[in-house]
Amino acid sequence: MKDLHAEVWENCLKVIRDNLNYQSFKTWFAPIKPIKLENNILTIQVPSQFFYEWLEEHYITLLKKTIRNELGPTGRLEYSIVMEGSYANDPYTIKMPASNRKATNNPAVAMPIDLKNGNAKEIPNPFIIPGLKKIQVHSQLNESYSFDNFIEGDCNRLARSAGYAVACNPGKTAFNPLFIYSAVGLGKTHLSHAIGLQVKNSFPEKTVLYVATEQFIQQFIDAVRNNNQNDFLHFYQMIDVLIIDDIQWLSGKEKTQDVFFHIFNHLHQKGKQLVITSDKAPVELKGLEPRLLSRFKWGLAADLQVPDLETRIAILKKRIYKDGIAMPDDVLEYLAYSITTNVRELEGALISLMAQSSLNKKAITIELAKQMIDKFVKNTAREISIDFIQKIVCDYFGIPVDSINSKTRKRDIVQARQLAMYFSKKHTKSSLAAIGLVCGNKDHATVLHACRTVNNLIETDKQFRLYVEEIEKRIKF
């Protein structure tokens, strides 16, 4: 017999299928998995946050209607977003074999046990699993972030091959810790998962753990609150390959740095592997203790650079191949050509394009890609800086940019300075004080005064208003 939730979802799908074209259905509904039906709430699993947002934005009415049809007026829908295809619901729980569970009233909930006195504790302790010879750790690895799916290019050759070497021989190479750093969206998280997956593949007996630094911090805070810091420490000291992502978040968190320092030392001494990622090279990290930074330099620090055009095309090709999508080569090349600095954005553009085409029932063409990129790039990529504004304003009046920072009270320069302040206030998130600082070392009151003056002039002086409109256009290209 079929589970009820599966049956309900299947009925919904029948209606949805009738209301959509084939491509949209296949793109947005086929990958959804029904998980459970409880209290008249149907939970469905979607592959990503993006997916969820897309469904909410575009199909909410249809979804609501079909759910109500099936479950009546109180019927509701909930999403479960997974990062990891194969594991169930909560990626942060550690899985216990059923036989080792202490029976509780609710057999679905494993009650954590306090090792020392053997009592069931009320506060969940996620770190220690009693009575097990071998700990079972949920590695938190995403299967799709494999080495196979990580395209090699000049931009990442060193980091990739060091990562591979580490994965084949964890703790035994000179690359310990392996420290991977880059700007956002260039593959740090992907590569660090790839290492973990590869280790698990080659050494199934090894305990691998991927943890985001924020998660590590939160776990530590909880451990302090629940007074089980030792369990926390022991848990981490048992790991064979510890991957800690975005270490820069430890900045300023002294207590957590301290405990991480101990974990690091313990693991390193025992020949366990550490993989650390960061948005900066160790020497550039701020707010981290020197003793920790010096350890980060023990192994190898390798960076990921922006991929060149060829690599970007290869990344897109791999991605559409994996997703089973067909897309003309010239469109792919156009995307790779237009989005240059961030692989995540590149993939975002690809997904958007697919979505556009399936929703509007348009074929994927260069024209569609162009329209989409125009919107996409304008919406996401460009952040206007004060520097940029100063340059536009000075260029407009034909004066050198440094004159804004000079002491001069010449009328045209004063005006340019005031305009730079006005536009900076309008187009950036900087505070008045911060704007004043970089526009001639003035205080916030001067900036405020400048903004008022410009506003007044816009209302009273036609010529001035034209200047402002012209500059405004240039700022927003």
Rg (CA), the chain: 28
> How far is CA 262 from each of CA 232, 266, 378, rounded to the nearest angstrom?
12, 6, 46
Which of 187, 282, 299, 436 is in the footprint of ligand ADP by CB under 6 A?
A: 187
> How far is CA 418 from each of CA 164, 364, 384, 449, 450, rounded to the nearest angstrom?
55, 47, 17, 9, 5
Residue with Cβ nearer ligand ADP (150 or 216): 150
Which of 59, 127, 188, 376 is in the footprint of ligand ADP by CB under 6 A?
A: 188
Q: By CB under 6 A, tell whether 185 contacts ligand ADP.
A: yes
* Least Å from the CB of residue 193 to ligand ADP: 8
Q: By CB under 6 A, tell whether 182 contacts ligand ADP.
A: yes
Residue with Cβ nearer ligand ADP (9 or 249): 249
Binding mask 107-146 for ligand ADP (x = CB under 6 A): --------------------------------------x-
Q: By CB under 6 A, tell whether 156 contacts ligand ADP.
A: yes
Q: By CB under 6 A, tell whether 151 contacts ligand ADP.
A: yes
Binding segment for Mg ion (CB under 5 A), chosen from 17-25, 180-188, 291-299, 419-427, is 180-188
Which of 67, 140, 190, 436 is in the footprint of ligand ADP by CB under 6 A?
A: 190
* Least Å from the CB of residue 212 to Mg ion: 8
Report the DSSP beta bridge partners of residue 243.
Answer: 210, 275
Q: Which does 315 bind (CB under 5 to 8 A by kind): Mg ion, ligand ADP, none?
A: ligand ADP
* Least Å from the CB of residue 277 to ligand ADP: 7
Query: How many residues in the shown chain lie near Mg ion by CB under 5 A?
Result: 2
Q: By CB under 6 A, tell whether 150 contacts ligand ADP.
A: yes
Q: Which residue is nearest to ligand ADP (CB)?
A: 187
* Least Å from the CB of residue 188 to Mg ion: 5
Binding mask 323-362 for ligand ADP (x = CB under 6 A): --------------------xx--x---------------
The three-state DSSP-derived secondary structure of the chain is CCCHHHHHHHHHHHHHHHHCCHHHHHHHHCCCEEEEEECCEEEEEECCHHHHHHHHHHCHHHHHHHHHHHHCCCCEEEEEECCCCCCCCCCCCCCCCHHHCCCCCCCCCCCCECCCCCCECCCCCCCCCCCCCCCCCCCCCCCCCCCCCCCCCCCCHHHHHHHHHHHHCCCCCCCCCEEEECCCCCCHHHHHHHHHHHHHHHCCCCCEEEEEHHHHHHHHHHHHHCCCHHHHHHHHHCCCEEEEECHHHHCCCHHHHHHHHHHHHHHHHCCCEEEEEECCCHHHCCCCCHHHHHHHCCCEEEECCCCCHHHHHHHHHHHHHHHCCCCCHHHHHHHHHHCCCCHHHHHHHHHHHHHHHHHCCCCCCHHHHHHHHHHHHHHHHCCCCHHHHHHHHHHHHCCCHHHHHCCCCCHHHHHHHHHHHHHHHHHCCCCHHHHHHHCCCCCHHHHHHHHHHHHHHHHHCHHHHHHHHHHHHHHCC
* Least Å from the CB of residue 263 to ligand ADP: 22
Query: How many residues in the shown chain lie near ligand ADP by CB under 6 A?
Result: 17
* Least Å from the CB of residue 268 to Mg ion: 23
Q: Which does 170 bind (CB under 5 to 8 A by kind): ligand ADP, Mg ion, none?
A: none
Residue with Cβ nearer ligand ADP (342 or 371): 342
Which of 189, 192, 257, 352 is in the footprint of Mg ion by CB under 5 A?
A: 189
Which of 81, 184, 293, 433 is in the footprint of ligand ADP by CB under 6 A?
A: 184
Binding segment for ligand ADP (CB under 6 A), chosen from 75-83, 84-92, 187-195, 251-259, is 187-195
Q: By CB under 5 A, tell whether 66 contacts Mg ion.
A: no
Which of 276, 315, 336, 355 is in the footprint of ligand ADP by CB under 6 A?
A: 315
Give, to the nearest 10 degrees, the angle between helix 329-338 and helix 309-323.
130
Vertex 89: Cα angle to 85 and 93 (nearest 5): 110
Residue with Cβ nearer ligand ADP (184 or 221): 184
Distance CA 150, CA 147 (A): 5
Q: By CB under 6 A, tell whether 163 contacts ligand ADP.
A: no
Q: By CB under 6 A, tell whether 186 contacts ligand ADP.
A: yes
Residue with Cβ nearer ligand ADP (300 or 438): 300
Binding-site ranges for ligand ADP (CB under 6 A): 145, 149-151, 156, 182, 184-190, 315, 343-344, 347
Binding-site ranges for Mg ion (CB under 5 A): 188-189
